[in-house]
Structure 1
């Protein structure tokens, strides 16, 4: 995308989010209303100093005006997911989505071979774990309880302490796992 269009789109969006009119921004930034209008239309190539003035007037970081629009969708193929294994390869973890400043969760697919178990030492304070069994049967040991979760069923729990995943079904256990980190 053309940088002038990126700036135009971001300036209009930020101004709308902050409920700032062109007149108000012209006064706070020292950039004329006409110039601001041209920038928002993408019909001019503003100087770096002009953009700095606008950012100062909006009280935002300079790079916020240059931020490329987020993708409308993201497809992650299994062979592109970040892969890790444990227990001599009997426990496999595919990391599809990582936690980021704009995303307070991570999403994995877990595979556990027949008859095997995996012990997690626990996660950070105030996180939540959500599991959905896609194939097989999971026995989850959490808080000194054994809970059985069958295919197409889901469970959520506080993952702070040690918890154990056991494949108690036939074949490979496949689970979708989401770790959620509530914002404060």
Structure 2
């Protein structure tokens, strides 16, 4: 795969942005499970490769018609493509609930918000204090990552490039490609981190 990162034009973060991102991750994960290329899915579903790319990167929400075509091509019911997080409501996670993981003397903190019943996706709230940090250990066994910035500014560094993300920006990348997270300011950064559940993860 040569698609390691996608950037979204800065803007106000809306609730539906999270759904769009999770849906994109779910569709791509299913495609990879089947061993299908984007071209093959496009051919089977009659959905253009460009549109499929936008959907998988979380840049657009598919219409019901397109979602139906993709569900047929991926041999997956539409209901299974939409995360339980949004199907089984109400589901409330209080601010003092959920497992909390800390690294680097508490300067990097992750709070588990959701793991769907089918073990497909995990959703975390991440807090990053000022400083530089490698890929959090909690995600080392994961593959594709999807992050959405809620507050502050975060720099993510790969082999040949650094991206600066602000509130409302999102990025998709492979865990193996990420070298460093950096909060360049004194303000704490908050973000949502979405990743596929790994069978070895406890």
The interval holding the TM-score normalised by the smaller chain is 0.5 to 0.7
Q: Is the 8 A contact 1:112 1:173 kept in 2?
A: yes
Shift of 1:108: 0.5
Shift of 1:180: 2.4
- Where relative contact order (Cα < 8 A, 6+ residues apart) is larger, the structure is 2
Cα 1:147/1:74, change in 2 over 3 Å: same
Cα 1:86/1:149, change in 2 over 3 Å: same
Alpha-carbon deviations, 1:36-79, whole Å to 9, x = none?
Answer: xxxxxxxxxxxxxxxxxxxxxxxxxxxxxxxxxx9543111121
TM-score, normalised with respect to structure 1: 0.52
Shift of 1:164: 1.5
The correspondence of residues 105-116 of structure 1 with structure 2, limited to 5 A, is 105-114=121-130, 116=131
- 1:94 corresponds in structure 2 to 111
More divergent stretch after superposition (131-140 vs 70-79): 70-79
- 1:157 corresponds in structure 2 to 173
Shift of 1:99: 5.5
Shift of 1:145: 2.1
Structure 1: state its 5+ residue gaps.
1-69
TM-score, normalised with respect to structure 2: 0.48
Q: For residues 143 and 172 of structure 1, what CA distance do their matches in structure 2 show?
A: 25
Q: For residues 115 and 160 of structure 2, what CA distance do their matches in structure 1 show?
A: 29
Shift of 1:97: 1.2
- 2:134 corresponds in structure 1 to 119
Shift of 1:86: 0.8
From the CA coordinates, give the structure whose radius of gyration is larger: 1
Structure 2: state its 5+ residue gaps.
1-86
Could you tell me which of 172, 177, 183 is aligned with 2:188? 172
Q: For residues 85 and 159 of structure 1, what CA distance do their matches in structure 2 show?
A: 18
Shift of 1:106: 0.6
- 1:12 corresponds in structure 2 to none
Shift of 1:110: 0.7
Q: For residues 163 and 101 of structure 2, what CA distance do their matches in structure 1 show?
A: 25
Q: Is the 8 A contact 1:128 1:181 kept in 2?
A: no
Cα 1:157/1:98, change in 2 over 3 Å: same
Could you tell me which of 93, 100, 103 is aligned with 1:76? 93
Runs of 4+ in 1 over 4 A off after TM superposition: none
Which structure's residues are more often strand, by fraction? Answer: 1
SS at match of 1:95: strand
- 1:145 corresponds in structure 2 to 161
Q: For residues 117 and 99 of structure 1, what CA distance do their matches in structure 2 show?
A: 31
